[in-house]
C-alpha cells in the first residue's frame, strides 16, 4: 500500500505479486493489485483481479466502486453505473461513487440523473472543484444560469487555479449580459493559460 500512496504502482505491483505467491487467498492483495494495475493502464488485468475479489467478498463496496472506474475506463458505461450503484447500496455514504456515477450518467445524456448524483454527493459533504464544475455545466445546459454561476463560483473557491471554471462562469455571465464581470473572469482564465478565453475576449470585446 505504501508504494501506491507514493504513486509507484510498478513497485506496488511486485509487492502484491509476492504477497499472492505466499498466500494465494489473500483477497486484499488482489484488490490492491487491481488498483496498481489500473494505475499502470492495464484495465483488463485489473478487471480480472477485481472480479476475483467481488466473487469472494461480495459485500466489498470499494471493490465495486473501483471496478466501476475500470469499466468506465474501458468504455463500458452501463456496467460502470451498475457497479457504482451496487457500491452505493452497500455503503450509502460513499461520496465519490455518486460523483463518478453522475459523470457517467452525464456522458449518457442523463442530465437529471447526473444532477441528482452531484447534489447527493454535495449533500453528503464532498468538497471537490470538479464536482461543482460538473454541476455548473448541467445547470448551464438546463438554462439555470444563476445556479450555474453559483456552482462555478464554488468550484473556483475550492481550486482558484481552475482556469476552465473561470471561463465557463464567464460564458454563463455573457448569456445574462453581465459583460463586465464576464471580462474579469475571461482575463483570469487567460492568465491561467486557458486558450479559449483569449478567443472570446477577441470576439466580444474588440
75-130: pLDDT as tens digits: 999 999 999 999 999 999 999 999 999 999 999 999 999 999 999 999 999 999 99
CB 104 within 8 A of CB 97: no
Max intra-chain CA distance, the chain: 69
Q: What is the pLDDT of residue 23?
A: 64
pLDDT at 27: 75
Question: pLDDT tens across 88-98, in order?
Answer: 999 999 999 99
pTM: 0.87
* Closest listed residue to residue 200, CA positions, set 167, 163, 176: 167
- Residue 17 is predicted with a pLDDT of 56
Amino acid at each position: 500500500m505504501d508504494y501506491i500512496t507514493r504513486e509507484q504502482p510498478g513497485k506496488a505491483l511486485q509487492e502484491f505479486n509476492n504477497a499472492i505467491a505466499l498466500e494465494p487467498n489473500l483477497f486484499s492483495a488482489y484488490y490492491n493489485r487491481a488498483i496498481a494495475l489500473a494505475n499502470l493502464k492495464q484495465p483488463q488485468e485489473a478487471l480480472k483481479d477485481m472480479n476475483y475479489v467481488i466473487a469472494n467478498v461480495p459485500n466489498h463496496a470499494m471493490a465495486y466502486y473501483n471496478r466501476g472506474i475500470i469499466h468506465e475506463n474501458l468504455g463500458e458505461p452501463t456496467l460502470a453505473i451498475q457497479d457504482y450503484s451496487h457500491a452505493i447500496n452497500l455503503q450509502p455514504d460513499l461520496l465519490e461513487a455518486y460523483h463518478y456515477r453522475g459523470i457517467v450518467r452525464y456522458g449518457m445524456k442523463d442530465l437529471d440523473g447526473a444532477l441528482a448524483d452531484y447534489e447527493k454527493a454535495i449533500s453528503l459533504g464532498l468538497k471537490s472543484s470538479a464536482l461543482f464544475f460538473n454541476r455548473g455545466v448541467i445547470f448551464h445546459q438546463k438554462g439555470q444560469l444563476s445556479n450555474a454561476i453559483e456552482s462555478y463560483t464554488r468550484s473556483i473557491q475550492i481550486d482558484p487555479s481552475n482556469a476552465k471554471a473561470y471561463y465557463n462562469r464567464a460564458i454563463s455571465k455573457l448569456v445574462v449580459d453581465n459583460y463586465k464581470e464576464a471580462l474579469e473572469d475571461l482575463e483570469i482564465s487567460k492568465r491561467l493559460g486557458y486558450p479559449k478565453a483569449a478567443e472570446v475576449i477577441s470576439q466580444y470585446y474588440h
